[in-house]
């Protein structure tokens, strides 16, 4: 059974005349008759009675007419859905983002995208960098956004923005009076850091190695999976931390954190895609939005 056979059946049923139905469908009468005959033969049932020069639905034909109309209606709805998806009027994107990107850099940009494409549903999960890469690799997220580099051969990476890592202490910390922090000084205080697997942690460990230090040289007192928890802990303790400038900005402005001068690298944010995943128009539209002028 094909959609074309259903269209012909419905037209003949409504016209109760083979020739008029064929004319309305821009088909020959023989093609129309053949389609009805094929439908009847395929299912071993008569749909029409031939009465003189006219035709009439059998009871089976009456019963089938409603079903045929419903199938065609669903087919039209499916065609409209594809048109809407192609035109970015409908669709969804599943996103996974690391904490700094997801909590501080991404929200305004997603809102701007949603205002432009209100029919595209955005589903965002926030995790650490390693978990985001795994979600994209395993197909649980269409796109991932992370800080720093990801070594995952199944994923492609596109630079999409960035920030910088900063070392901060609370307003009562002895370091607050230092003009500049030296590498030798790093081991003289306690530290609160992100957990292993986070981009922030990986970037800080890389910076330590460049300074000739290892994480084991520091007094790491606490590891937390949340930027906000780390910020709160450092504000109320004698510990230091290395966090995103985006995370620290409000506390620096309020004076509850103090930034120390120390050479830490700028870091790029990256968009992750699975190399074998087809790129949808919605994904490309979001990438264009994220690559546009930075949100204020």
Q: How many domains does the chain have?
A: 3
pLDDT score of 293: 57
Same domain, 173 and 146: no
Same domain, 169 and 156: no
Same domain, 73 and 95: no
Write out pLDDT tens, residues 19-38.
Answer: 889 998 899 999 999 999 99
Taking the C-alpha atoms of residue 269 and residue 277, their distance in angstroms, rounded to an integer, is: 21
Query: Is 123 part of a structural domain of the chain?
Result: yes
With beta carbons less than 8 A apart as the criterion, state whether 8 and 35 touch.
Answer: yes
Taking the C-alpha atoms of residue 285 and residue 114, their distance in angstroms, rounded to an integer, is: 11
pLDDT score of 83: 74
Same domain, 225 and 260: yes
Write out pLDDT tens, residues 217-243.
Answer: 999 999 999 999 999 999 999 999 999
Query: Is 296 part of a structural domain of the chain?
Result: no
Same domain, 199 and 261: yes
In this predicted model, which residue has the larger pLDDT, 76 or 204? 204
Q: What is the pTM of this model?
A: 0.69
Same domain, 113 and 236: no
Query: Is 295 part of a structural domain of the chain?
Result: no
Q: Which of 115, 123, 161 is nearest to 143 (CA)?
A: 123
pLDDT score of 272: 96
- What is the Cα Rg of the chain in Å? 32
Domain boundary among 35, 66, 86: 86
CB count in 10 Å sphere of residue 118: 11
Same domain, 125 and 272: yes
10 Å CB burial of residue 115 (0-12, 13-18, 19+) is exposed
Q: Indicate if the pLDDT at residue 156 is higher than 90.
A: yes
Same domain, 82 and 102: no
Supply the range of the domain harboring residue 202: 163-267
Lowest mean pLDDT among 64-78, 83-97, 106-120: 83-97
3-state secondary structure at position 252 = helix
Q: For all residues of the chain together, what is the average pLDDT?
A: 91
pLDDT score of 296: 45
Percent of the chain exceeding pLDDT 90 equals 73
């Amino acid at each position: 059974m094909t959609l074309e056979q259903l269209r012909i059946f419905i037209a003949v049923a409504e016209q109760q005349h083979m020739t008029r139905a064929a004319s309305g469908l821009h088909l020959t009468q023989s093609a129309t008759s053949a389609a009805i005959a094929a439908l009847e033969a395929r299912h071993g049932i008569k749909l029409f009675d031939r009465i003189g020069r006219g035709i009439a639905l059998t009871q089976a034909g009456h019963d089938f007419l409603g079903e045929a109309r419903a199938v065609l209606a669903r087919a039209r709805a499916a065609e409209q859905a594809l048109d809407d998806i192609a035109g970015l009027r409908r669709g969804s994107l599943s996103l996974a983002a690391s904490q700094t990107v997801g909590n501080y850099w991404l929200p305004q940009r997603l809102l701007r995208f949603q205002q432009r494409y209100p029919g595209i549903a955005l589903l965002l999960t926030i995790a650490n960098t390693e978990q985001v890469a795994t979600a994209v690799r395993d197909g649980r997220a269409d796109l991932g956004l992370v800080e720093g580099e990801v070594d995952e051969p199944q994923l492609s990476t596109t630079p999409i923005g960035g920030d910088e890592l900063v070392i901060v202490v609370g307003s009562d910390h002895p370091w607050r009076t230092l003009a500049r922090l030296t590498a030798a000084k790093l081991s003289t205080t306690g530290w609160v850091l992100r957990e292993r697997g986070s981009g922030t942690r990986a970037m800080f460990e890389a910076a330590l190695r460049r300074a000739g230090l290892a994480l084991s040289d520091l007094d790491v007192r606490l590891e937390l999976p949340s930027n906000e928890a780390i910020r709160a802990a450092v504000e109320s303790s004698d510990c230091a931390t290395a966090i995103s400038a985006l995370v620290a900005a409000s506390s620096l402005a309020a004076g509850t954190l103090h930034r120390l001068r120390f050479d830490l690298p700028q870091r790029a944010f990256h968009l992750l895609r699975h190399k074998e995943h087809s790129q949808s128009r919605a994904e490309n539209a979001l990438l264009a939005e994220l690559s546009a002028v930075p949100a204020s």
